Amino acid sequence: MTRCYSSRMAACFDRLKKNQQKAFIPFLTAGDISMPLTLKLMHAAVDAGVDIIELGVPFSDPMADGPVIQRSSERALAQGVTLRDVLGLVGAFRATNLVTPIVLMGYLNPIEQMGWPRFAEMAQQKGVDGILIVDLPPEESTNVTPLLAKHEIDQILLVAPTTTSERMQLIAKSASGYVYYVSLKGVTGSGVLDGSQVKEKVELIQKIISLPVCVGFGIRDAKTAAEVASFSAGVVMGSHLVQMIYDLHQSQMADPVLLETVSKWMGEIRRAIDQK
């Protein structure tokens, strides 16, 4: 049985299972271009049929992220975007959406500076459903896991191509909501995905970890998304989307047209996943 501390996350995966659908999870860097635009993009994503939104917390040294997301973090940081601002953005989203799960994806430093108890309390108040901290391995999260559970926040953990079966068993003890399978060695946006290898690894993970396995890194288009959705619980798409938004903005496209263009692209991915 899937372990979810967030009621929204549990309801999301229950609905997907009932409808025999797979999760579409886009990644957006909070505050890239502007916070108001990020909020509009979050709502546009929901209108296009996404299931969960991963919201990147800008950080100066995002070690797991490739150039596209690194630059998006730099742009957000240049505008002074902080962890508190990101939590405020989630709160603004919750003013009109109480259904779509939000997962914060980022790094330890901003949370350590705020303090874990304060962060967990604020995250719950603002409506965060899960966190994925890239540089927080399960061995170092023994105090964090129960704190997050207390505040009904799922701890999303990463599984890599090099993760052993023994380590997966450790991850299974701490993770909740879903696990994120990093389909490629390297950083986000790098490499070309080998579907057969990813499928083989996902099947192994599913034998050890009972949570839904969602796959990210290397998924660039509708065809790849559909392929991955055919053997996983969900598809995470980040670098291509972040670059698209930036390019459209740089072309001086008006926000309403930009939102319509991005929403149309997300709708195409949604339909491809559903046609798996």
The pLDDT of residue 65 is 66
Q: How far apart are the first and last CA of the chain?
A: 24
Residue 190: predicted pLDDT: 46
- Predicted local confidence at residue 187, as pLDDT: 45
| Model confidence, pTM | 0.94
DSSP 3-state assignment of 32?
coil
Among 32, 47, 51, 54, the active-site one is: 54
Does the annotation mark 54 as catalytic? Answer: yes
Three-state DSSP string of 197-262: HHHHHHHHHHHHCCCCEEEECCCCCHHHHHHHHCCCCEEEECHHHHHHHHHHHHCCCCHHHHHHHH
The amino acid that residue 32 corresponds to is: D
Closest CA to 42 of 86, 79, 84: 86
Per annotation, catalytic residue among 65, 129, 154, 227: 65
**What are the distances in angstroms from CA 78 to CA 91, 187, 238?**
22, 22, 21
CB atoms within 10 A of CB 88: 15
Query: Among this protein's residues, is 260 annotated catalytic?
Result: no
Residue 216 has a CB neighbour count (10 Å cut-off) of: 25
Number of Cα atoms under 13 Å in the Cβ half of residue 76: 29
- In sign, the C-alpha dihedral spanning 17, 183, 178, 261 is negative
List helix spans (H) across the chain.
7-18, 35-47, 67-78, 83-94, 108-114, 116-126, 144-150, 165-174, 195-208, 222-229, 239-250, 255-274
Residues of the chain with pLDDT under 50: 1, 186-190
**How many other β-carbons are positioned within 10 Å of the β-carbon of residue 123?**
25
Q: CB neighbours of 227 closer than 8 A, spacing ≥ 6?
A: 195
The yes or no reply on domain 7-274 and CATH 3.20.20.70 is yes
Chain length of the chain: 276
Query: What are 106's strand-pairing partners?
Result: 133
Dist. CA 253–CA 110, nearest whole Å: 33
